């Protein structure tokens, strides 16, 4: 039990006004000082999120981990009494992994889990190696300068997701343009991107009915047609979730992982001389710079107490994974990278029923990318300090990472 879990119900005060503007440019550039402050001030804070909605932000590791698995924190918007509606989603995206709870969610998860078996992911390893080699060849052929986001971190996951779903080569440009719109910061474009993507996925489903292959969309169709297990909308939602779940996250981890190593020459040298430590390094980098900084919002299905703070039923609750990874109650010297850290139970892939189904794939893509990158470019260095992060509350993501080599 931690200090937080032992606190008596209802006693911890909320130390600041919800109207305070906490999530500004400084936060996007470096969220950790704010988390440090909030964690010390209290375990849960009523704050105004960047989109203007009011949420309870939970900051301490033990509470975040517990909250991720707590069935009383539901995803379904019907529990929301805070008035937040978010980006208007097309009807076909109303029921998907992100917006359902057990038992409906369990049914959807069993299908996606079947698609993400360890064997299937391992079978993608040679493809990941091949794609990374090709991207690094292109980079090496340039003038000794590159943006690691556009050269490696973005094209790798999108290529692998397209392979996984079975998107034909000729359609990948279109797929990519919709993806970029969806994950962008313009709400209008994002909503349009969602509508376009739904139409696109429906077209792909129709195509795979006439031209089946051994990729995931065909697998989902077969699961549906044999057992009547998935509706058309559920299939669209599944494709959509894989895309949203697997793109920004992996992009973010490859780029911020590379940056963290570039900023810490000792750890970079350690990995160069001990490449076998890469597996441990990826876990530590996930703790250190969680791509999903703040988990998808949940809603309290009843009055509950988190870390001693009363949360009324219907409240929106955001569990801060980024803050949990830097909690000194859980990790010694959390602002330091340590590949031999004993405490490795990070929650950067979530915890509980929504635990990331793509965790093994994400880990593999990040490990292969970083391993090959540092082996191939011994002189790799940041080109300048003008780094920009996309303004976002859920994802922490570099817009560019200029390097020389």
Residue from 154, 258, 285, 295 that binds ligand HEM (CB under 6 A)?
295
**Residue among 306, 290, 258, 287 at smallest CA distance from 394:** 290
Place of tokens 């992911």: 121
Q: Which residues contact 95 (CB under 8 A, 6 or more apart)?
A: 104, 233, 234, 237
CA R_g for the chain: 21
Nearest position to ligand HEM, beta carbon: 358
Q: Residues 2-41: x/- map of binding to ligand HEM (CB under 6 A)?
A: ----------------------------------------
Conformational region of residue 282, where left means phi above 0, alpha means psi within -120 to 50, and beta covers everything else: alpha
Residue 150 to residue 153: CA distance in whole angstroms: 6
User: Please, what is the minimum distance in Å from the beta carbon of residue 357 to ligand HEM?
Assistant: 5
Quick one: how far is CA 312 from the chain centroid? 27
Region near ligand HEM per CB under 6 A, out of 18-26, 168-176, 204-212, 248-256: 248-256
* Sign of the dihedral defined by the CA atoms of residues 165, 167, 173, 174, in that order: negative
Residue 315 to residue 113: CA distance in whole angstroms: 30
Region near ligand HEM per CB under 6 A, out of 9-17, 189-197, 239-247, 307-315: 239-247
User: Please, what is the minimum distance in Å from the beta carbon of residue 248 to ligand HEM?
Assistant: 9
Residue from 31, 155, 291, 334 that binds ligand HEM (CB under 6 A)?
291
User: What DSSP element (H or E) covers 279?
Assistant: helix 278-288
Please check whether residue 309 is in contact with residue 12, taking contact to mean a CB–CB distance below 8 angstroms.
yes
User: Please, what is the minimum distance in Å from the beta carbon of residue 74 to ligand HEM?
Assistant: 12
What's the first-to-final CA gap in the chain, in angstroms? 48
Q: Please, how many CA atoms are within 13 Å of residue 325, restricted to the half-sphere of its CB?
A: 27
The two structure tokens encoding residue 102: 């057990």
Nearer to ligand HEM, 12 or 356 (CB): 356
Nearer to ligand HEM, 57 or 361 (CB): 361
Nearer to ligand HEM, 6 or 231 (CB): 231
- What part of residues 86-125 is at the interface with ligand HEM (CB under 6 A)? 97-98, 109
Please report, for residues 249, 333, 395, the alpha-carbon distance to residue 245 in angstroms, rounded to integers and kept in the order given. 7, 30, 11
Region near ligand HEM per CB under 6 A, out of 12-20, 178-186, 214-222, 287-295: 287-295
User: Please, what is the minimum distance in Å from the beta carbon of residue 76 to ligand HEM?
Assistant: 12
DSSP string, 117-158: -HHHHHHTHHHHHHHHHHHHHHHHTSSSEEEHIIIIITHHHH
Would you call the peptide bond into 292 cis, given omega within 30 degrees of 0 as the criterion? no
User: Please, what is the minimum distance in Å from the beta carbon of residue 384 to ligand HEM?
Assistant: 26
Nearer to ligand HEM, 12 or 396 (CB): 396
The two structure tokens encoding residue 247: 């793109």
55 binds ligand HEM (CB under 6 A): no
- What part of residues 303-322 is at the interface with ligand HEM (CB under 6 A)? 321
- What part of residues 146-165 is at the interface with ligand HEM (CB under 6 A)? 161
Nearer to ligand HEM, 258 or 361 (CB): 361
Is 75 strand, coil or helix?
coil
User: Please, what is the minimum distance in Å from the beta carbon of residue 395 to ligand HEM?
Assistant: 9
241 binds ligand HEM (CB under 6 A): yes
Nearer to ligand HEM, 115 or 136 (CB): 115
Residue from 53, 218, 250, 320 that binds ligand HEM (CB under 6 A)?
250
Q: Residues 345-364: x/- map of binding to ligand HEM (CB under 6 A)?
A: ---xxx---x-xxx--xx--
256 binds ligand HEM (CB under 6 A): no
Give the residues lining the site for ligand HEM (CB under 6 A).
68, 97-98, 109, 161, 241-242, 245-246, 249-250, 253, 291-292, 295-296, 321, 348-350, 354, 356-358, 361-362, 366
């Amino acid at each position: 039990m931690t200090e937080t879990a032992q606190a008596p119900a209802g006693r911890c005060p909320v130390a600041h006004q919800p109207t305070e503007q906490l999530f500004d440019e400084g936060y996007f550039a470096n969220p950790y000082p704010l988390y440090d402050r909030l964690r010390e001030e209290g375990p849960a804070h009523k704050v105004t999120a960047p989109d203007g909605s009011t949420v309870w932000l939970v900051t301490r590791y033990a509470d975040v981990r517990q909250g991720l698995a707590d069935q009383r924190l539901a995803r379904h918007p019907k529990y929301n009494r805070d008035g937040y509606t978010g980006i208007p989603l097309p009807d076909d995206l109303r029921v998907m992994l992100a917006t359902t709870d057990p038992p409906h969610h369990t049914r959807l998860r069993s299908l996606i889990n079947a698609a993400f078996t360890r064997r299937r992911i391992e079978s993608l390893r040679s493809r990941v190696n091949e794609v990374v080699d090709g991207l690094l060849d292109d980079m090496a052929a340039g003038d000794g300068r590159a943006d690691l986001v556009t050269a490696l971190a973005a094209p790798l996951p999108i290529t692998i997701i397209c392979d996984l779903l079975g998107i034909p080569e000729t359609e990948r440009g279109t797929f990519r343009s919709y993806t970029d719109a969806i994950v962008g910061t313009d709400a209008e474009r994002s909503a349009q991107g969602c509508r376009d993507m739904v139409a696109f996925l429906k077209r792909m489903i129709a195509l795979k009915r006439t031209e089946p292959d051994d990729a995931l969309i065909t697998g989902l169709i077969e699961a549906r047609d044999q057992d009547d297990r998935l509706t058309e909308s559920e299939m669209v939602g599944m494709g959509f979730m894989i895309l949203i779940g697997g793109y920004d996250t992996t992009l973010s981890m490859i780029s911020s992982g590379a940056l963290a190593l570039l900023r810490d020459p000792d750890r970079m040298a350690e990995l160069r001389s001990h490449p076998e430590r890469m597996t441990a390094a990826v876990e530590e980098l996930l703790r250190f710079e969680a791509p999903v900084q703040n988990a998808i919002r949940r809603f309290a299905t009843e009055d509950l107490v988190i870390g001693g703070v009363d949360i009324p039923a219907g409240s929106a609750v955001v569990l801060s994974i980024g803050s949990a990874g830097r909690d000194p109650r859980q990790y010694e010297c959390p602002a330091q990278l340590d590949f031999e850290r004993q405490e490795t139970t990070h929650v950067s892939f979530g915890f509980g029923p929504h635990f990331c189904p793509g965790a093994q794939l994400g880990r593999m893509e990040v490990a292969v990318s970083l391993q090959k990158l540092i082996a191939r470019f011994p002189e790799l260095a940041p080109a300048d300090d003008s780094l920009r992060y996309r303004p976002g509350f859920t994802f922490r993501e570099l817009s560019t990472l200029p390097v020389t080599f």
